[in-house]
A and B are shown apart, each in its own frame.
Chain A
Amino acid sequence: MTDFALPGELIHALMPEITLVVGTLILLLVSAWGGEHSSPTRLTTRFALGIVAVTAGAVILAWLRGDGGTSDGRLAGDGFRYAVDLVLLLGTAGTLALLDTEQARTRAYQAEVPVLMLLALCGMMLLTAARDLMFLFIGFELMSIAVYVLAGSNRSSARSAEASLKYFLLGAFSSGFMLYGIALLYGAAGDTRLASIGATAVGPLYLVGVALLLTGLAFKVAAVPFHLWTPDVYDGAPAPVTAFMAACVKTAAFALLLRIMTEALGPAIDTWHPVLWWLAAATMVVGNIVALAQSNLKRMLAYSSIAHAGYLMVAVLAYSADAAAAMVFYLLVYTLATLGTFAVLGIVSEGRESATTIGDLAGLWHVRPGLAVVLAVCLLAFLGFPIAGGAGFFAKWYVLQAALSSSTPLNVLVVVLVLASVVSAGYYLTAIASMFNQPRSSNAMMPVPTPIFSGVVMVVSVVALLVLGVYPTPASRLAAAGALGASPLRTVAAPQPAATAASRSQSTLPEQ
């Protein structure tokens, strides 16, 4: 372990993260300075938005500057890192805007909420950059611990506390699995760098390590059967935090999954490919079918997010540069739709003690047509419907295309994906039908006027979704740049071309 990069190189490679951390720490000190009661909470949120913007500038600068990785290969400086970073920053900016709305109506949230979001974001950005198991675990824990606290950030709600505890217990469990897997992989390879692990011969130690690592990751992306925490946590956590988990945590976890799979676990592809195949199929089917039975909107969205994890796993399975681009595009669209959905949800459920159900949406179109249209577009985007659902269609299209053109064609999985999407139409359309087809009940609350920040989030996500829905080229080029730069995707097969080729022919087995 003597070949650490020079400090100067490290600082260079981590410039966006350092920008973010410095800003966050200043914010932390400033908000702590005034004490709990006098702290200008909403001002903190707005400063946090500013920090996100500056960080986005740093990321773009780093991307334009070219190689921001370290020479020892512990940190990536590829397009994949920066493209996912931008999606994460977009998601965080959106959730901060929603948080601003929440803070305007309740004093339950303190200044630490935006600070914790920024810290979690920092962990996520470290995750997208990491090509070393140690960096990776630090980023993973930084993200996770911040989000555990965020889930319980509504101090006046018992359900929020319950969600936080549940998330913490299961999350710690999954971190344990992951850490053990990391230890075993280190034992097998003698190095923590993903590239070295990817060049190691497959042995029993290696395979057990892969299995444990995969378990930990499956928990984080909420793949069936490791998904049981999701509905409870999504339901209990405050709406902006749920949006943060649905959009950003999922994005970061999938970026991590893709990088590990392609850079470190190439040699063991014939072992994990069938496993992941079944996980993806089960996640799509179970997520969508259980979502049908939900009347609570947040629980429905939780199961829908599980189903989306399944679709994204299809992209991971496709295992090509195209698939990585498809995933980045999908994550962007998913983030936009999630933000729009939760922006509407925040307004509709305002002042409500109990959970918001699909029935509470009844007749929304008759009183607030704008809100109903925004929610309908976002739900149709989740569904992957063309034109009306905008870019949601192309997100699914790129995944389908990648899956069908991968070296091990995933024909059966594509059919599962398509049929699962049909099932998902059942609950998305029920929610839409409730808004548009039913009359507003006379004792239903009138939704509050849309606060400016929520309005901005809604307009940005809907316009972006609809424009990308007829002309996805700008976003798809960005995503493709994100995948092309991910050179490791091309070098995976290099160490053991023969073994990989053989394993690929074996991994067609589940298709038959």
Chain B
Amino acid sequence: MGMDQWILPALLLWPLIGAVIVRLLGQERNAPTTAESMPTDALSRGGPDARVLTLGVLVVEAVLGVCAWLLFDATAPGWQMRTDLTWLPDLGARLSMGVDGISLPMLVLTTLLMPLALLATWQQVTSRMATYGALLLALTSGLVGVFVSLDLLLFYLAWELMLIPMYFIIGIWGTAGRTRAAIKYVMLTMFGSLLMLAAIAALYVMGGSTTFHLDDLLQLSLSLNTQLWLFAAFFLAFAIKSALVPFHTWLPDAQFEAPVIGAVVLGLKVGTYALLRFAMPLFPAAVMHETVRSVVLVLSVIAIVWGALVAIVQPDLRKVLSYASISHLGFIMLGCFALTQQSVEGAVMIMVNHGITTSALFLLAGFLKERSGTDRLDAFGGLARVVPLFAVMLTLSMLSTIGLPGTNGFVGEFLVLLGTYRTEPLLAIFATTGVVFASVYALRAVQRLLFSGLDVKANGEMRDLRGRQLAVMGVFAVAMIWLGVAPQPLLRRMELASSALVERVRGTSLDYAQAATAVNTGANAND
């Protein structure tokens, strides 16, 4: 029983254990003096500060994540660090976990991002820290569960586990419109995920009601019609979760009302990950179906252009970022459905890089809001001279969003466009216009915030990044440039998994096409 056997269960369970510890032992050290409306969670005096405790748990989790990264063997195909424990013997559900080159980067990104985000938003949430920390840890566990599950029931539970902590994080610590945004987020997500649950149940019953394991379910041979229905349910769930146009409306609301750390987590592309992991390999014939593919590809291009155009006219920085995410999501979808190895690798690259860049940008927007109470673009101007470090970080992150060569944003978008051009040249050309619009919204925001005249006097007093915030932003800056200049370690790890996926989807669907032709000819002969 080596380390690679217990590392994934540890990654999944440690935050849950941590959540209980934080909730029971955590105390508030700097509770606001107006504690009447928001009393502390303190059960008793004395004990560690809840925030420090949460950070400690998250740092351990990050260390575990890095261990997983180091244990991963880029040259071995298939699942690694597999675990298979008995869970519900009557149903056949097992605690099956494993990672491959697609899930590993997302997993490590998540575990590293959480402590950084908590550290950067250290002063932004001050009430009920123990509950807040526990919810944050439960959320982390849900995210990790989504990335490591190979059992569909476990995956579904983890998928929904993300929802409730996020609901409370938005609903309790969010801004004025939080209740509406939180309910909209949960209702829309549930709409998709419950249909997916029905599809999982159908798949399970068709598989003989004995197993939920992805590998076993991949062996099923389903008719095209069944595949189309089940794929529709899965796709809807994942499209809503990842905010594909036209299911995107919840994202700007939720990211705007949520506390910054909530917005950061919402920026993680769990939906597209699940699409690559489950929906596409399970239903290859549906993915390769002519109508399905063209609809999704066209929707992706619409998302790229529409998201970027809408981002141009947003008054708030966070809204600009939300719509930029929607535009990026279009690139990811395009890469997934163009189905060449390059485009799929590019899609996973964007998922990772988007996680880094958008998180940095949302944290920066959070700093603005923390300092001046707003992030409206027209409330600022000329900040470059007042807060130079902030200005450097914002510019760098925005350039990464545009996809400037040398930043991490470039690699993914370039691969997606290159890969797509080989199969869908027309769409690739349309998608490229998205990059142009991206530079408009990004440069507009930079120009408004940093470079026009210092027209609001109060902003002259603004503090620059210091201490914790500067350190966190430094990490982000290094990551953005490093992944832009040397993406090879990342790409090498996802190579095998991406090509396996493309082969699986393209290969199997070829068999289906042949079988369908054979059946048709047979039917015609009978006539």
Q: Which of B33-59 contact A (CB under 8 A)?
A: 37-39, 41
A230 within 8 A of B: no
Interface size class of B (residues with CB under 8 A): 35 or more
Consensus secondary structure, chain B interface: helix
**Do residues A400 and B209 form an inter-chain contact, with CB atoms below 8 A?**
no
**Do residues B201 and A425 form an inter-chain contact, with CB atoms below 8 A?**
no
A421 within 8 A of B: yes
- Of B160-168, B493-501, B514-522, the segment with at least 4 beta carbons within 8 Å of chain A is B160-168
A385 to B183, CA, bound (A): 14
**Do residues B179 and A401 form an inter-chain contact, with CB atoms below 8 A?**
no
Q: Mark A389-426, 1 if CB is under 8 A from B, else 0.
A: 00001000100110011000001001101110110011
B156 within 8 A of A: yes
Q: Mark B173-213, 1 if CB is under 8 A from A, else 0.
A: 00000110011001100110011011001101100010000
A244 within 8 A of B: no
Q: Mark A465-498, 1 if CB is under 8 A from B, else 0.
A: 0000001110011001000000000000000000
Q: How far is the CB of B131 from chain A (nearest CB, A)?
A: 8
A385 to B38, CA, bound (A): 28
A503 within 8 A of B: no
B458 within 8 A of A: no
A282 within 8 A of B: no
Known: A366-B38, A400-B197, A400-B201. A387 touches B187 (CB 8 A): no
A437 to B38, CA, bound (A): 12
**Do residues A405 and B164 form an inter-chain contact, with CB atoms below 8 A?**
no
Q: How far is the CB of B215 from chain A (nearest CB, A)?
A: 21
**Do residues A437 and B187 form an inter-chain contact, with CB atoms below 8 A?**
no
Total chain A interface residues with beta-carbon distance under 8 A: 38
**Do residues B182 and A437 form an inter-chain contact, with CB atoms below 8 A?**
yes
Best-surrounded residue of B39, B164, B201, B205 (most CB of chain A within 10 A):
B201
User: In the complex, which of the residues B164, B171, B201 contacts A433, with contact meaning CB atoms closer than 8 Å?
Assistant: B171
B70 within 8 A of A: no
Q: Mark A421-455, 1 if CB is under 8 A from B, else 0.
A: 11001100110010011111000000000000000
Q: Which of A361-381 contact B (CB under 8 A)?
A: 365-366, 369, 380
Q: How far is the CB of A292 from chain B (nearest CB, A)?
A: 11
**Do residues B90 and A480 form an inter-chain contact, with CB atoms below 8 A?**
yes
A393 to B160, CA, bound (A): 11
Best-surrounded residue of A369, A388, A393 (most CB of chain B within 10 A):
A388
B157 within 8 A of A: yes
User: In the complex, which of the residues A387, A400, A433 contacts B182, with contact meaning CB atoms closer than 8 Å?
Assistant: A433
A438 to B171, CA, bound (A): 9
Q: Which residues of B contact A388 (CB under 8 A)?
A: 161, 164
Q: How far is the CB of A394 from chain B (nearest CB, A)?
A: 9
A397 nearest CB neighbor, chain B only? B201
B174 nearest CB neighbor, chain A only? A437
A440 to B36, CA, bound (A): 11
A440 to B38, CA, bound (A): 10
A386 within 8 A of B: yes
Known: A436-B172, A437-B172. A421 touches B202 (CB 8 A): no
Q: 11 A-B Cβ contacts within 8 A?
A: A386-B157, A388-B161, A397-B197, A400-B197, A400-B198, A401-B204, A422-B190, A429-B186, A471-B87, A477-B90, A480-B90
Interface residues in chain B, defined as those with a beta carbon under 8 Å from any beta carbon in chain A: 37-39, 41, 87-90, 156-157, 160-161, 163-164, 167-168, 171-172, 178-179, 182-183, 186-187, 190-191, 194-195, 197-198, 201-202, 204-205, 209
- A-B contacts besides A422-B194, A438-B179, A473-B89, 15 pairs, CB < 8 Å: A366-B39, A386-B157, A397-B201, A401-B204, A414-B202, A418-B198, A419-B194, A425-B190, A429-B183, A429-B186, A430-B183, A436-B172, A437-B171, A437-B178, A437-B179
